[in-house]
Amino acid sequence: MLPVQRITLPADLRGVTPGELTPQLLRAVKPYGWLHHLAADAYHALRAQAFMDDVKPFKPTSAGDTYRSLAMQRAGFLARYQKQPIAGASTRTWNGEVWYLQKGYAPMAAPGSSNHNLGIAVDIWTASGKRLEWMLENCKRFGWSWEIQSEPWHIRYVAGDEVPPAVKRWKEANG
Ligand SMILES: [Zn+2]
């Protein structure tokens, strides 16, 4: 098991309401989606390294798998979870109520409680096989870590304002 690494939040995210980031905090990322500006640099640096190592494509699953506004997270959550109990289903608590994951859907955090709502998480497209092996080897030095072993595609930017040297180098060459 990978250890769960604590997230250090960038200073400009403290006190921000998840899912309500102002446009100044966000940057467009390639080939689609948005991230917090520090996470965007770290993601682009990681992606550039992936391309250099011939790990292609390296991208989010969809634009909704980068930053998610509260409305986006709510829509995704309501499409997957129901209040009607399902035996053995994975559950989430939202506004004090228990919700049950419908069969065939991947779990998702309750609105407002996801790192996606802070723009510091990306779901990488098909994080398995060779791509996952490469991620396990390289994510950490670019400031990325995993929350749980069961969601290998979901990586979070954990380095806060301490921009990792590998990201600084990328920024100097491309910034
Ligand atoms: Zn995710």
Residue 88 has pLDDT above 90, yes or no: yes
Tell me, in angstroms, the distance from the centre of ligand 1 to residue 156's CA: 8
How many alpha carbons lie under 13 Å from residue 99 in its C-beta half-sphere? 19
* Distance between Cα 150 and ligand 1 center (Å): 11
Cβ(65)–Cβ(152) below 8 Å: no
| CATH 3.30.1380 domain extents, the chain | 11-68+114-174
User: How close are the terminal C-alpha atoms of the chain, in Å?
Assistant: 36
Distance 153 CA to ligand 1 centre (A): 7
Give the Å distance between the CA of 168 and the centre of ligand 1: 25
What does the pLDDT read at residue 150?
73
CA of 123 to the centre of ligand 1 (A): 5
Asked whether the predicted pLDDT for residue 2 surpasses 70, the reply is no
CA 108 to chain centre: 11
CA of 80 relative to ligand 1 center, distance in Å: 14
Residue-level pLDDT at 5 = 85
The class of domain 11-68+114-174 in CATH terms is: alpha beta
Give residue 66 CA to ligand 1 midpoint distance, Å.
8
pLDDT in tens, 5-45: 889 999 999 999 999 999 999 999 999 999 999 999 999 99
| Residue 120: predicted pLDDT | 98
C-alpha 116 – ligand 1 centre gap (Å): 6
Q: How far is CA 113 from CA 52, 117, 148, 161, in A?
A: 34, 7, 15, 21
Distance 136 CA to ligand 1 centre (A): 16
pLDDT at 1: 54
Ligand 1 center to 24 CA (angstroms): 22
